Amino acid sequence: MTASKRRRTVMILISDLIALVHLLPSNSSLVTAHAWVSSERQPTQSKKQPEIDARVVNVIWREPFDLESRDLFYGIGGKKGEPDPSDTYRFLGKVTSGHAEKIRVEDSRNRRWTVKFGEEPRPETAASRIVWAVGYHTDQDYFVEQANIEGRGIVRDVRFERDDDDFKKVDRWEWNSNPFVETRELDGLKVLMALLSNFDLKKENNKIVRASSKRPGDPETQIYYVNDLGASLGSTGRWFGGLPIFGELPAGSKGSAAEFNRERFVDNVRSGIVTFSMKRARAQRSITGVRVENARWIGDLLARLSDKQLSDAFRAGGFSKETIQIYVQAVRARISQLLGLK
């Protein structure tokens, strides 16, 4: 090829390239990128920010390796954590959330507590012991027969719950929308709520917390648990509980051994899913979808508890000997139903 032909070929290629560029839309990525490079300064690097450890581990259950030896009278807080009934407590203020009357107090050791009155202190304390026994987190709850509170005098049959327990509240969680949906551990918690006849299953009673202190390098751990177990150990509602409107009414009983003993537990099993009897509609929706094998799994854990441990759980709630006997027999019967599921 002669030099003149080579020049003519190059000119044709350049002309075709220019024509191609003009055919591109004005907002094409090629043109926009070229314009940015030529007309805009590259952004300068900002000052380096301190690195934040964003690792978070979500936990709802931990293996209770010491299950057979757990002290169900004192619970998660142990004997050293219990409030002193001979102490005089300083009144800090009222708690406006929830239906039951609650106040905040401080003891002589500067420990802070929420004191609950009414019909929930007994069942809540006993229920918390059983839930904690099989590996789930609970608050540090104690039933106190009497305590002296400044400005209020002697109060009787109340629940003390430790406020400054080294856990900080993060959020609330929903039964049907959380990181554990369709897991064995969430199913186990649902079974426990049915076994304890807890009919007040709502987001406001479920808490996510983080430990205030941790070892350097450890990931943040978020613990999911049920922080209000007061609507337990009685009946789950009345015959009209399945109706659209009345099913939301809290018509169940709390801490009634006779009604708890009469309450139906397992309703039916279909296609590998267990349905539990729960007369309050909202609570029933919260405990759906439990697989048979997961119900048996939590039943196996509960079966490892001795009669003494179960008795201690109800004794912690201040129930009488006769009432404790009814409860232990009823709980044993419910555990047997779980173990017999097929």
Q: Looking at residues 316-336, what average pLDDT do you find?
A: 98
The reported pTM is 0.81
Distance (Å) of CA 207 to CA 118, 195, 232: 22, 20, 18
Q: Which pLDDT band holds residue 107 (cuts at 50, 70, 90)?
A: very high
pLDDT at 213: 76
* Confidence band, pLDDT 50/70/90 cuts, at residue 120: very high
What the block records as the tokens of 101 is 């009357």
Helix (H) or strand (E) holding 286: helix 281-286
In the block, which residue shows the tokens 């390796």?
65
Tell me what the pLDDT averaged over the chain comes to.
85
* C-alpha 176, offset from chain centre: 12
Other beta carbons less than 10 A from residue 288's beta carbon = 14
Please give the share of the chain, as a percent, with pLDDT higher than 90.
Answer: 74
DSSP annotation of 166: S
- pLDDT digit string, tens, across residues 142-170: 999 999 999 999 999 999 999 999 999 99
pLDDT grade for 244, boundaries at 50, 70 and 90: low
